[in-house]
Amino acid sequence: MIATFIHRAVMQGIPLLFGSTGEIITEKSGNLNLGIPGIMYVGGISGVIGAFLYEHNLAGDPNPFLIIAIPLLSSLLGSLVMGLIYCFLTVTLRANQNVTGLALTTFGVGIGNFFGGSLIKLVDTDMPSITLSKTSSYFSKTFPFADNLGWFGEIFLSYSFLAYSAIIIALLASYIIKNTRAGLNLRAVGENPATADAAGINVNRYKYFATCIGSMVAGLGGLYYVMDYACGIWSNDAFGDRGWLAIALVIFAVWRPNISIIGSILFGGLFIIHNYFENLGMSAQELFKMAPYIVTLIVLIIVSMRNKKENQPPESLGLSYFREER
């Protein structure tokens, strides 16, 4: 029972982990990308389009390498394009980050639902969703021996490769940000771009790279959601508000990807905990769904009250950098 709960909490948490890791990398460069929800939609739908084209042009058995690689690469490509749009507007054209991000979310959710809806028409069924069972069966492969190991297997070994890569990417991001020269430079750009510029760091290049890499990581969250969590079924708006929750998780994790691993599982648990109370009415369930947001608010308030230096958002978060205006 508890093992099942943890298993399901992790499954819920992984998309959030991808999203928040991506957003942390982005925010460390001083870009507050509110387009993450849209980017995750695009990451999901691009993977679906890739998988759809491959599955429907397939004669015999799928090639195990291609059936993973095609959706993966198209998902990465889709979210990269979104990241580039954001960077071009905010870094090169110096537009307002909040407005650009919100427009990107509108655009991305539109793209997701539009192509989701159009692909459904292509397959000529009355189903309200696309089903990519073949691709999904490859994406959701777990360790074959997980079932034999009881609760241990269920908690630790029962996930697909994307779930483990989420955790690895988060740990790696933590390490790079904290311990490498590139990470130090990145933090310098996010804290004070003028100083970084004076020290000879190419501010725009760091902003571009961090935001694009962050977008691609976040996009994988959408891919994981469709291919593994939702068993290859894309239905419009099913992804819901997870993108915003991922942004909330960034605050919860006080801008550290390694904390966001635990945070994502906790959020995932809060997301589904209402199923585990017996006799809970429908309306009370709605109140329980408030939990992740309230927890985030409390963390946000505590962080700002304690005002510890190492727990603050990057100093120049949300501000564009103009060299000429120093």
Partner 1 sequence: MMKQKEANPREPIFHIVKRDAIVWWKAWLIRAAAIVAALLVSAVLTVFLTGENPLDVFSSLIDGAIGTSRRFWFLIQNTAMLLCVALAVTPAFKMKFWNIGAEGQALIGGMATAACMIQLGDKLPYGVLLPLMFIASVLAGSIWALIPALFKAKWNTNETLFTLMMNYIAIQIVSFFASEWAVPKGSGKIGVINGDTQAGWLPVIGNQKYLLSVITVAVITVIMYIYLKYSKQGYEISVVGESQNTARYVGISVKKVIIRTMIISGAICGIAGFLLVAGADHTITRDTVAGRGFTAIMVSWLAKFNPLYMVLTSLLIVFLERGAVQISTSCGLNDSFSEIITGIIIFFIIGCEFFLNYSIKFRDKEADKQ
* 279 part of the interface to partner 1, by CB under 8 A: no
CA 175, 177, 178, 182 dihedral sign is positive
Q: Distance between terminal CA atoms of the chain?
A: 59
| Least Cβ distance, residue 208 to partner 1 (angstroms) | 10
Non-local CB neighbours of 35 within 8 Å, separated by 6+ positions: 82, 86, 100, 101, 102, 103, 104, 105, 108
Contacting range for partner 1; rule: CB under 8 A; set: 145-153, 209-217, 226-234, 302-310: 302-310
| Least Cβ distance, residue 139 to partner 1 (angstroms) | 25
Q: Please, is 298 exposed, middle or buried when counting C-beta atoms within 10 Å of its C-beta (0-12, 13-18, 19+)?
A: exposed
Cα angle value 203/206/208 (rounded, 5°): 105
* CB contact at 8 A, 45 and 115: yes
| Least Cβ distance, residue 220 to partner 1 (angstroms) | 22
Site string for partner 1, 244-273 (x = CB under 8 A): x--xx--x----------------------
Q: What is the DSSP string of 220-255?
A: HHHHHIIIIITTTEE-TTTTTTHHHHHHHHHHHTTT
* CB closer to partner 1, 117 vs 153: 117
Residues 11-30 that bind partner 1 (CB under 8 A): none
* 125 part of the interface to partner 1, by CB under 8 A: no
* 282 part of the interface to partner 1, by CB under 8 A: yes
* 43 part of the interface to partner 1, by CB under 8 A: no
The single residue among 2, 56, 69, 106 that binds partner 1, judged by CB under 8 A, is 106
Gap between the Cα atoms of 72 and 44, Å rounded = 10
Rg of the chain, C-alpha, whole Å: 20
* CB closer to partner 1, 167 vs 248: 248
Footprint of partner 1 on this chain (CB under 8 A)?
A: 32, 34, 85, 88-89, 92-96, 98-100, 102-114, 116-118, 121, 204, 236, 241, 244, 247-248, 251, 281-284, 286-287, 289-290, 293-294, 296-297, 300-301, 304-305, 307, 313, 318, 322-325
